[in-house]
Amino acid sequence: MTSQITRTGIYPGTFDPITKGHLHIIQRASKLVDHLIIGIAPNTRKGPLFSQEERVKLVSEDIANMHVKHCEIEVEAFDELLIHYVQRKKAQCIFRGLRATSDFEYEFQMTGMNAQMEPDIETVFLMASDKYQFVSSSFIKEIHALDGDISKFVTPAVLSALEHKKNQRKS
């Protein structure tokens, strides 16, 4: 008799907005689990440009254009402590992307706290690729607000959403 084990992973983040750096992590994480949930956090601390609903929509659009084999990807908003969300979804691991210097301290602390609260859930770090090492949602927003070209770092759908936001703010 063969038993089917489904491996579920959660990739949580603010995704304000989703970048090609995030997409690269999603592509790679999708090779490691059968079911990948992209959890969009409210993150009022960071004062997001896009509402949680808008971010879910943008991430879903980008995912729909992605070629993924053997993994079901789901996008949803969550609004609770990450570890409770992971337990509720019965996921085995949390995925996080790690850029050279900027992410380490925060990620190290968060992983430590999560491991104390729920030792059975592993955090898996995927190193950012050279190409996207310096790409961050906050820089993208800043550069775009000052009319810089960010088309290399986000998909056309995200670029047009940023344009739309900028025009809304001007009027």
- Residues in contact with ligand ADP by CB under 6 A are 13-15, 19, 21-22, 25, 43, 96-97, 99, 103, 128, 132, 135-137
User: Which one-letter amino acid corresponds to residue 113?
Assistant: M
- Residue 77: DSSP 8-state: E
What is the nearest approach in angstroms of ligand ADP to the Cβ of residue 88? 18
Contact 122, 93 (CB under 8 A): yes
Q: Minimal CA–CA distance to 69: which of 98, 101, 111, 30?
A: 30
Residues counted in the chain: 171
What is the nearest approach in angstroms of ligand ADP to the Cβ of residue 154? 11
For the sheet containing 72-77, what is the strand order?
Answer: 72-77, 35-40, 8-13, 93-98, 122-127
What is the nearest approach in angstroms of ligand ADP to the Cβ of residue 56? 13
SS3 59: helix
Give me the active site residues, please: 22, 46, 99, 137
Nearer to ligand ADP, 99 or 166 (CB): 99
Nearer to ligand ADP, 6 or 68 (CB): 68
Nearer to ligand ADP, 35 or 50 (CB): 50
